[in-house]
Structure 1
Amino acid sequence: MNKNLLLLSIVVPVYNEEEVIEEFNRRLVNTFSKTDIKYEVIYVNDGSNSQTSKILRKIADSAKNIRLIELSRNFGHQIAVTAGLDYSSGEIVVVIDADLQDPPEIILQMIDQWRNGYKVVYGIRRNRKENIFKRMAYYSFYRLLQNFSKVYIPPDSGDFSLMDRQVVNMLVAMPERNRFVRGLRSWVGFKQIGIEYDRDERFAGKSKYSLSKLFLLASDGVVNFSITPINMISNIGLFLFVSSILAAIFLIIWRISNFKILGHMPSDVQGFTTLAVLLLFFSGVQLLSVGIIGQYIGRIYDESKQRPKYIVENELGFSKSKNNLIFGDQRGAQEVKTSGEIL
């Protein structure tokens, strides 16, 4: 492959970004206007409102190398990224959000690293300009994930990345419905490198990732790439079991010896308060344990249903219809190309 004559696909998931999408497209086009890189832009409309959809259709009609996938409803950010990867045909694929917090100009640096032999080039957020609560949440999440996961997932790296076609093919072929793309990207391995950059504030509009959605994303990351929570339950259960035996032995000795502890004899302690506290404690541990196990069982249930990951309502700008991918399932993954033509 001639790395000077590459084909690039840029996947952009979009959800209600009518205030920023035109500026994003302008900056993206300007980034490549002085290069000889052939590229396509694949916007994935993840069930946005009518105004965003109207603007995206206008953008898709403005150039032959701009495509649009419209999903039938909001399937979530990670699934929208997955749809874009399924439809991509470039020898390398970039994933970037449309909110302009991740600067499109960094893509050229990523391409340089790919030419140096790296299969994955991911962005590392050096500084964030979000509020302190989000910064703390992101910091805690990545450190928690790093401690739990058996796969090294670089801290402070998001979905903004460049991937070689070989890596993309691996991701497309994976059957998981509960996707955590940056984790899957790390799991496949290959030669990877990060590029640091300062993450800007949103150009306009509001973040679509609320704290509750970030919590769900963190849950997907931990549960999909680690069984540490299950092991923790086992360890807690073993600790409580051993502790209860030791406590029982101590109480028996105390009763038999009839000595004072903190000025109280065994007959002075009725035990109702202690019993209530212990009952609440063990009930809480049991419910927490059942909840954690339920997270794993729920994902098994989702996978067993074998529903498609997404449903495509419309596709615009593609030279050939990709109806084999319309249900976002393995039927499409079987026909992934090693490279494709970008008009």
Structure 2
Amino acid sequence: MVTLNLVIPCFNEQEVLPETTRRLLTLLDGLVANGAVDASSGIMYVDDGSHDCTWALIEAFHSRDPRVHGIKLSRNHGHQNALLAGLLSVEGDVLISLDADLQDDLAAIPRMMAEFRNGAEIVFGVRHRRDSDSFFKRVSARSYYRLLRRFGVNVLQDHADFRLMSRRVIEELRGFREVNLFLRGIVPLLGFRTAIVKYDRHARFAGESKYPLVKMIMLASDGVASFSTKPLQWSAYVGGVLALASLSFGIWALSIRLLTDRTVPGWASTVIPMYFLGGLQLLFLGVIGGYIAKIYAETKQRPRFIIERTL
């Protein structure tokens, strides 16, 4: 009999948390009744510096049912760090991470446990389709996964943070110390036997999304910069090609001036290449600066999260 713990990062989730707790406890009751998990299995909420009544609700749930536990972080450390805090702090033979908004299909959890019993150490929850997404989100998500694979990043398409991991996997995850955290890229690096469970993602039960477009872009950039150096290589390649093109243009202009009586009139032939090359230089300096900033963050070795209180 294995002990299962559900790890759920929360940030201002007071509107959805009561329903989430009710459904998760019902799920655990069913798994225990079927003999799939031990009766000591539970829920671990990680309050990532919420400003509403999220932590007060977690305390109330814990007082009513000891299977509900909580970790309160000292401030908002970000979704990935909050998730890692829960994974590295909670006990249990099997941990399943999911979001608090009930978009992840809870009916997929028994199927994840079945794959675990069949020998899988990691089970990825992968969306079956994206019909519920807007056109922009659907196109941008697919483009993002294609871009990551083009950069050589090993990520699973349409998989977010809904996954099962065994205790053995969690202990290996503990050895990854990077500050720029991107669990969607780290977990596949762990290896072990894996399985995939397809599910349909539901609409958010209540509240607002905690991942607006700006945060999604930041997460995407973290994924690229943390697992691929190809942007730097491509910058060098493009710079080399443009340097040759500029040299060829200079030779052509000089030959026109020395060998003929025709000169290139106007300022366009000078100003346009200058602005074009200057813009590319600034762009590539920005790419290099992004990598340097991440190196700077890693060398400081600041803690990825600080736990203020546990239940």
TM-score bracket for the superposition, by shorter chain length: over 0.9
- Of 124-133 and 163-172, deviating more is 124-133
- Aligned-pair distance for 1:61? 1.8
Query: Matches of residues 212-231 of structure 1 in structure 2 within 5 Å?
Result: 212-231=214-233
- Aligned-pair distance for 1:231? 0.6
Look up the match of 1:19. 15
Task: Give yes or no for contact 2:14–2:52 (8 Å, CA) kept in 1.
Answer: no
- Aligned-pair distance for 1:256? 4.5
Task: Give yes or no for contact 1:28–1:105 (8 Å, CA) kept in 2.
Answer: no
Look up the match of 2:164. 162
Is 1:140 aligned to 2:143, yes or no?
yes
What amino acid maps onto 1:278 in structure 2?
Answer: P
- Aligned-pair distance for 1:308? 0.8
- What secondary structure sits across from 1:266 in the alignment? coil
- Of 248-257 and 170-179, deviating more is 248-257
The 2-side partners of 1:290 and 1:255 are apart by 34
Alpha-carbon displacement from aligned partner over 1:134-185 (angstroms, at most 9, x marks no partner): 2222221111111112x42111111100011121112122111111011100
Look up the match of 2:288. 293
- Aligned-pair distance for 1:271? 4.4
What amino acid maps onto 2:307 in structure 1?
Answer: V
Alpha-carbon displacement from aligned partner over 1:220-262 (angstroms, at most 9, x marks no partner): 100001001001111111111121222223333434453xxxx
- What secondary structure sits across from 2:53 in the alignment? helix
Look up the match of 1:185. 187
What amino acid maps onto 1:227 in structure 2?
Answer: T
Look up the match of 2:272. 277
The alignment's TM-score, normalised by the length of structure 2, stands at 0.93
Structure 1: 5+ residue stretches without partners = 259-264, 317-343
The 1-side partners of 2:51 and 2:166 are apart by 33
Task: Give yes or no for contact 2:103–2:201 (8 Å, CA) kept in 1.
Answer: yes
Task: Give yes or no for contact 1:44–1:81 (8 Å, CA) kept in 2.
Answer: yes
Task: Give yes or no for contact 2:87–2:170 (8 Å, CA) kept in 1.
Answer: yes
Alpha-carbon displacement from aligned partner over 1:190-210 (angstroms, at most 9, x marks no partner): 222221111111011110100
What amino acid maps onto 2:111 in structure 1?
Answer: Q
Percent identity at matched positions? Answer: 39
Residue 32 of structure 1, aligned match among 23, 28, 31: 28
Look up the match of 1:323. none
Task: Give yes or no for contact 2:58–2:68 (8 Å, CA) kept in 1.
Answer: no
Task: Give yes or no for contact 1:125–1:157 (8 Å, CA) kept in 2.
Answer: yes
- What secondary structure sits across from 1:34 in the alignment? helix
What amino acid maps onto 1:171 in structure 2?
Answer: L
Aligned pair in 2 of structure 1 residues 166, 271: CA closer, same or farther (>3 Å)?
A: farther
Task: Give yes or no for contact 1:223–1:296 (8 Å, CA) kept in 2.
Answer: yes
The 2-side partners of 1:99 and 1:125 are apart by 16
Structure 2: 5+ residue stretches without partners = none
Task: Give yes or no for contact 2:125–2:199 (8 Å, CA) kept in 1.
Answer: yes
Query: Matches of residues 76-95 of structure 1 in structure 2 within 5 Å?
Result: 76-95=78-97
- What secondary structure sits across from 2:31 in the alignment? coil
Root-mean-square deviation (CA), in Å?
A: 1.5
Query: Matches of residues 1-343 of structure 1 in structure 2 within 5 Å?
Result: 5-36=1-32, 37-38=37-38, 39-128=41-130, 129-149=132-152, 151-258=153-260, 266-267=262-263, 269-316=264-311
The 1-side partners of 2:199 and 2:30 are apart by 22
The 1-side partners of 2:225 and 2:70 are apart by 32
- What secondary structure sits across from 2:4 in the alignment? strand
Q: How many pairs are equivalent?
A: 304
Task: Give yes or no for contact 2:31–2:110 (8 Å, CA) kept in 1.
Answer: no
The 1-side partners of 2:239 and 2:156 are apart by 32
The 2-side partners of 1:242 and 1:190 are apart by 47
The alignment's TM-score, normalised by the length of structure 1, stands at 0.85
Task: Give yes or no for contact 1:82–1:172 (8 Å, CA) kept in 2.
Answer: no
- Aligned-pair distance for 1:306? 1.4
Alpha-carbon displacement from aligned partner over 1:37-71 (angstroms, at most 9, x marks no partner): 12121100001123222212111222222210001
The 2-side partners of 1:295 and 1:313 are apart by 31
The 2-side partners of 1:54 and 1:138 are apart by 35
The 2-side partners of 1:230 and 1:63 are apart by 52
